[in-house]
Structure formats: C-alpha cells, structure tokens
Chains A and B, each alone.
Chain A
Amino acid sequence: MIYDRNNLPEELLNLPASDFEALYQEDIKDEKFQTKPVGFFKDAAIRLTKSKVSIIAFIIIGIIIILAVVVPPLSPYGFNDQNISAKYLPPKMPIVEKLGIMDGTRVLKNRKVSGLSDTDRYPEGSIIEYFNVVTAKGQEMCDVRVDAYMLAGMPDGEYHWFGTDYLGRDLLTRLFKGARISLLIAFFSVLTNVFIGVVYGAISGYYGGKVDIILTHFAEVLDGMPYIVVTILFMILFGSGMVSIILALTITGWIGTSRLIRAQFYRFKGREYVLAARTLGVPDRTLIFRHILPNCVGPLITRAMIAIPGAIFSESFLAYLGLGIKPPNPSIGVLLSDGQSVLLQYPYQTVFPAILISVLMIAFNLFSNGLRDALDPTKRGEE
C-alpha cells in the first residue's frame, strides 16, 4: 500500500539510521570452476571424433597414405622394373583368384578352334575354357579364356595384383608410387598456396586502404589470366618435374586463400579485443599473428583440406593434357591417362587408379566437412 506523505504512521517517520545501512558489504570472491578447462583445439577434436563419417574418412585417408609409403619399397617389383614378356598381364591376386575374379585370366576373342591345340602358342594348361563357337567362312572360331600368366611364360607364384602395363611394370607398385607423388604434389602445392595466401591476404586486409587496393587488383589480374595457358607456358619454361607442377598449381591457387584471409582480417581487425590489444601497445606483428590469424585457422584448415583433392585432380588433369610428371615417374593422373588409351582392351589399367582417386577425393571432402563443423566456433560447447 502507498502512504500519503503527510500522515505516515509514527514508526515509519522515525526510522533509525541503522536501518538504511547495507546488509552486507559484498567482497567479490569467485568460486573455482568445477569443470576442466577445454582448449579450442581439444574442443574441436572432441567434436570431430563424434562424427562417424569424419572418422571413417580419416581412417581411409590414413590407410591410403600408409600404403603409399610402404607399398613401393615392400613390393617385389620396382615401379620402373620393365619386363617386356610380362606386358599387359591382367590382375592376379592370391585368395581372391579363387573367386573367379582377379585370377590372371583373360578372354581372347575369335580364335581358330584348330589352333588351340598348338602347345607352342598355348602351353599346356593355359587354356581354361572356350565358348561361343561359331563357324565363319568354313572356319570354326571361338572365344577362349586363357591363363595370361602361363601364356606369357611367367613362373608359378608370380602375382601382379593390379596387373602390368605396356612395359610389363607392376601396376600395384606404380599406383601407390603414383599416389605418393600425387599426394606430395597436393600437400606441397596446398602448403605453398596457404603460405602465400595468408601473408598476402593478411597484409592486404590488415593495412587496408591503398595497399589493399593495389594488392587486390594485382590478384584479380592474375586470376583473370587463362589458367591453362599460363600453366602450359610455365611447364614449357621449367620442364615437367614435381617442383614445376607444384609451382604451376600455385600460380593462381593462392588467390582464393588470400581472399578468405583478407575478408577475415577485415572482419576481425575492428573487433574490440583487437582494439583492446592495440591500446595496450601490442605491435602490428603480434596483432596479426596472435590476435587475428587464429580466427582464420578454422576456415583455413578446412579450405586446405578441400584444396588437397582439388590439387590431386588438377594434377591428373595436367597429366591428361600431357603435362604430367616426367616419365618414368607415375602419378595417379599419369596412370589414368595411360590407362584410358587402352581402356577397352585392358580396363583394369584405368579401374584401379580411378577407384583410388575417387576414394581419396571423397574421403578428403568428407573429412574436411567434418573438420569445418568441428572448427566452427559457433558450434562450440554444443553436445
């Protein structure tokens, strides 16, 4: 109820002064936290491991990398061991061969039935079966499934899991040697791209103004040049080694990264905590690397991960144009390009590299998606 000022009850008029003192003089003293501190990357790791797809993708990538490392040295065949008598051998793998696939056999079409008994051409036991017998121009013709290894005079126990190519080189060894080279090219080109992009974008975004205008326009001009032409010129100039392919992938590859970094810098350089650090006298270098750049780490890692399959693909693309790595070194792209020229006769030469590059790209994409979600600061702390 509200009292009229003039007829307040007696006890309210003569309140002692002590009634108006604060009941407690609060001395602020906070409690310790009960929880454990969780750092940014630990938090991201926790969330990453919660995503099954990312883990599977990560395992696949890991397996491929391990194979790329261990297969070439452990394989009985060198990646460049040529053996003309063993050329074009189909895949033959122990155990799996019992299932009727990858058993080292091949179907030869339209052979004279009469010729099958010629043991000079078809050593004993090399013919598995013949079928589709037709009579044409008085000749009995058939298709015949032969053991290509025996036909080529290979000793028993010779296994080329993924077959051999036109020089009789073991394709398993070459495929993983190629994967190794492709991955190396991809990693290093992405690494250079990220490095150049970060420095360029950071300078452009942090300083802004005229510096930014000049740098941005330069990047745009570079970006506007036809990529293929520039790359070809580049390869002509520097030859087709691994380094020159990496550089070729770098010419314009860094521009995307630098744009990303520049945008992030524009976003973050005006943040209050950056200003706060400036009022403390923190030098530009520290502001760039300690305060602003860490905000870019998430998008940067994601972008780099996405760029890796892109780089592998670009390398294959260059190989198709005949601008691939210098022979006899293989890369996935070179193998694909070699394989597709004999695609109809020897499809296995294309199938295995194609499977590997597909799996690799899907795995990298899935993993980088998971990584992006895990590093997304807005998702922090969510279960």
Chain B
Amino acid sequence: MAESEYILEVKNLCQHFTSGRGRKKLTVKAVDDVTFSVRRAETFGLVGESGCGKTTTGRTVIRLYNPTSGQMLFDGRDIAGRMNRKLREYLTSNIAMIFQDPIESLNPKMTIEEIVGEGLKVRGNRNKEDIRRQVVQMLNKVGLVEEHATRYPHEFSGGQRQRIGIARAIITNPKMVIADEPVSALDVSVQAQVINLLNDLKEEMGLTILFIAHNLSVVKYFSDRIGVMYYGHLVEVAKGDDLYQKPLHPYTRALLSAIPEPNPLTERTRVRIDYVPERDHDYSLEHPSMVEVEPEHFVYCSPSELERYREIIQNA
C-alpha cells in the first residue's frame, strides 16, 4: 500500500460526555461529527472560541478520552479502537502533546531533567548518563541551559515552562505533535518566541503539528491549513490563504471580522460581524454536512447553502 498523503484522518468523530443517570442524565456533545485530515509535515490549525471542543478533539486523538463514535486513522492504522498495550505504545511513540497551561502541565515535585527525560525512561532507557545527555541536548534546542536540568518548574517563567513542555513532547521523536494552545497563556512577545521555536523544530524534525488556538491571528502565519470549530462542529476547513480571502461559513466570517487591523484607518471602519446560528442557518428542512466547495476547501453546510457558497467562490 502506498503511503497515504495524510498522516491523520479523522472521520465523523464524536465525543460526548455524560453525567448523571436516568432522568438527570446530561449529555455534553463536546465534539460532534468532526471530519478532517492532516497531511504529513504540515501544520494544521484548529481554531474556535473557548469551550468549542478543541482540547477535547486533541485529547481524543491521543486517546486520553475514548471516542464515543467515529473513525481515526494514524498512518493508515486505526487508533479509535479498543485500548490495549500495543495501541497505547503505538500512540505514545508517534503522537505527543503540548498542553495548554504551562504551570499545570509540569509536575511541581519533579526536576526538569526528570520531567523531560521521562519519555526516554518509559521507553526503557535505563542509562542515566545517556538520558542526561539527551535531556541537555533537548534543553539547548529549546533555548535553556544545562544548569536548568536540576531545577524545579516553579522557578521558571511561563514561556520557559512552555519550552520545557515542548522539550518533553519532542524528545521521543514523535511523528506528530498536538499543540493545545501552547501560547494562549503567554504574552505576545513570548508567544512569537515559542511559535518560532515550534516552527524551527518542525522544519528540523519534519514534524506534523496539530496546532490548537482560540484566535485566528495566532495560527494565521503558522498554519498551512486551518479548521474552524464552533460548538463541537468543525464548520470550515481550508488552506490558510483561502480561509482569509474567501471565508464562506458565517462563523468564520465573524471570527475574521474580530481580528484587529494594524492600520488605524481600516481599524476604525472595521465592522464586526456577529454569528447567530438561528438567523444564519435554516436547517429545519435540510441537514448540513461537510462538503468540499472547491479543492481543499470544506464547509459544513446544507445543499441550498452550498449553492450560495459556490456562487460566492465563482464571483471572487
């Protein structure tokens, strides 16, 4: 079988959380019918407002959660099935995750060396010298120095901690990294620093990155393709440029209209579009689904909306 173009394929993924029993049973559809694919060595940006299910999507892919339904293929291999040791091993050696909160995601009782070296240890490396050497090498790569290895996380700044998180994720040489809002908790200058670092590492190691963010301006220059999420649904997937120039889904337009312009003249006249699902869609007769409107440009829409979107594209 020829190597597929896609490293990760997610089809109709659902992740529902339930609580309570019987009458009090509550279901939260954190991820509902999400379909997307990630190419080898590309950066796929996943954007959406807080609480729309981005983290849940990422965590389901790496199987911190068991998916309610749907398919997930990594390198052509099913990763949505029953959890067992082999699958766990496969997942953990191929996918790594960088977490949202730089403070929470490092064990406060472990030194940086222990934190970063853990992945190696789990993989059966018992040679302390060797682990130490690799950890130091990795720390240098993310801009930290050897002396930091013996320190505890609380002694570092947010940006430094996030770089430690990155070091921990990539020391095991994964094929794909899920970066869950790695910069949301950092200030703008440090954000750029961390994003540049990720970019460099990506080039150097041929990483595929699933980059999660809640605002479009962060993923704008960084992602090859971008998926926009709204309340558990993926509503639009397109190449970065296409998404900016020809946004189709009303939610994407609303998101784009919310990015401040650096030019004060246009910023003054910028009009924010708001998105009201009840007004913008009429799904009472037709059911929406993910459709490819033009090559590489998917929109979640109903057949009549599809007509409209096609027109927009042609006129553009």
Interface residues in B122-158 by Cβ distance below 8 A to A read 122-123, 142-145, 147-148, 150-152, 154-155
Given contacts A37-B152, A291-B107, contact A280 B118 (CB under 8 A): yes
Interface residues in A49-97 by Cβ distance below 8 A to B read none
- Which listed residue, B105, B109, B144, B150, touches A276 by the CB 8 Å rule? B105
Task: Give the size of the chain B interface in residues (CB under 8 angstroms).
Answer: 47
Residues in A with CB closer than 8 Å to B285 are none
Decide if B109 touches A294 in the complex (CB within 8 Å): yes
Decide if A275 touches B152 in the complex (CB within 8 Å): no
Given contacts A33-B147, A280-B122, contact A295 B109 (CB under 8 A): yes
Given contacts A2-B264, A37-B152, contact A273 B92 (CB under 8 A): no
Residues in A with CB closer than 8 Å to B219 are none
Q: Report the stretch among B30-38, B95-103, B236-244, B291-299 that lies at the interface.
A: B95-103
Interface residues in A275-317 by Cβ distance below 8 A to B read 275-283, 286, 290-291, 294-295
Decide if B118 touches A277 in the complex (CB within 8 Å): yes
Given contacts A30-B145, A40-B109, A273-B107, contact A281 B122 (CB under 8 A): yes
Alpha-carbon gap, A35 to B151, bound state (A) = 10
Give, as a whole number of angstroms, the nearest-CB distance from B189 to chain A: 9
Decide if B106 touches A273 in the complex (CB within 8 Å): yes
Decide if B105 touches A273 in the complex (CB within 8 Å): yes
Considering the complex, give the chain B residue whose CB is closest to the CB of A32. B147
- Which listed residue, B99, B105, B197, touches A28 by the CB 8 Å rule? B197
Decide if A33 touches B151 in the complex (CB within 8 Å): yes
Decide if B99 touches A276 in the complex (CB within 8 Å): yes
Considering the complex, give the chain B residue whose CB is closest to the CB of A380. B154
Q: Is A328 an interface residue (CB 8 A)?
A: no
Decide if B122 touches A282 in the complex (CB within 8 Å): yes
Considering the complex, give the chain A residue whose CB is closest to the CB of B266. A5
Decide if A28 touches B151 in the complex (CB within 8 Å): no
Q: Is A224 an interface residue (CB 8 A)?
A: no
Decide if A281 touches B88 in the complex (CB within 8 Å): yes
Interface residues in A356-381 by Cβ distance below 8 A to B read 377, 380-381
Give, as a whole number of angstroms, the nearest-CB distance from B96 to chain A: 7
Q: Is B104 an interface residue (CB 8 A)?
A: yes
Decide if A37 touches B150 in the complex (CB within 8 Å): yes
Decide if A276 touches B165 in the complex (CB within 8 Å): yes
- Which listed residue, A278, A281, A381, touches B154 by the CB 8 Å rule? A381
Q: Is A271 an interface residue (CB 8 A)?
A: yes
12 A-B pairs besides A40-B108, A290-B110 with CB distance below 8 A are A27-B143, A31-B145, A33-B155, A275-B97, A276-B99, A276-B105, A276-B168, A280-B119, A280-B172, A281-B89, A281-B92, A281-B93
Residues of A within 8 A of B (CB): 2, 5, 26-33, 35, 37-40, 271-283, 286, 290-291, 294-295, 377, 380-381
Can you offer 6 A-B residue contacts whose CB atoms are under 8 A?
A: A28-B142, A273-B106, A275-B99, A279-B64, A281-B91, A281-B122
